[in-house]
Amino acid sequence: MFGQPEPSPEHLLDAGLEATAEAFLPRNGYRATVQFGYHCEECEEAVFPVTTRSELVWLKNRRHVVEEVSKHVSGGLDTWIVDGLDFLDKHNGHSVVVTQRR
Ligand SMILES: [Zn+2]
């Protein structure tokens, strides 16, 4: 005997597409257990909009640009942007950092 044969792509599909996808995309599980948000170090308040860490950093760095754009957007912004801007507005001038929680 030569041991177990290498699993073929067909074999992986047979094993279940979802389980296979999870194995190859651990990011899905990661995002399910870790949330990112803003934390104000002065007020000890935090908000966790449903988005990624990179988007939170993007919004924080371009807050004033996004606010300006939002005035001209009729359809409204994504919820996480509204929530994020609201928090950044409320803690304007405070020490706000991007944080995470499990
Ligand atoms: Zn604050």
Q: How far is the CA of 42 from the centre of ligand 1 (A)?
A: 5
* CA 36 to ligand 1 centroid distance, Å: 17
- Quote the pLDDT of residue 11: 52
**Amino acid at position 70, single letter:** S
| pTM as predicted | 0.65
Query: Per mean pLDDT, which range of 16-25, 66-75, 82-91 is the poorest?
Result: 16-25
Q: How far is the CA of 98 from the centre of ligand 1 (A)?
A: 13
Which pLDDT score is estimated for 76? Answer: 78
Q: Can you give the residue ranges of every domain in the chain? A: 35-101
pLDDT for 96: 97
Say which range, 28-32, 56-60, 67-71, 74-78, has the weakest mean pLDDT: 28-32
27 Cα–ligand 1 center, Å: 31
20 C-alpha to ligand 1 centroid (Å): 43
Distance 71 CA to ligand 1 centre (A): 24
Q: What is the pLDDT of residues 9-42, one digit of tens each?
A: 555 455 555 554 445 545 544 545 789 999 999 9
Query: Between vectors from CA 72 to CA 70 and to CA 75, what angle results, nearest 5°?
Result: 75
Q: What is the pLDDT of residue 34?
A: 84
Residue 28 Cα, ligand 1 centroid: separation in angstroms?
A: 31
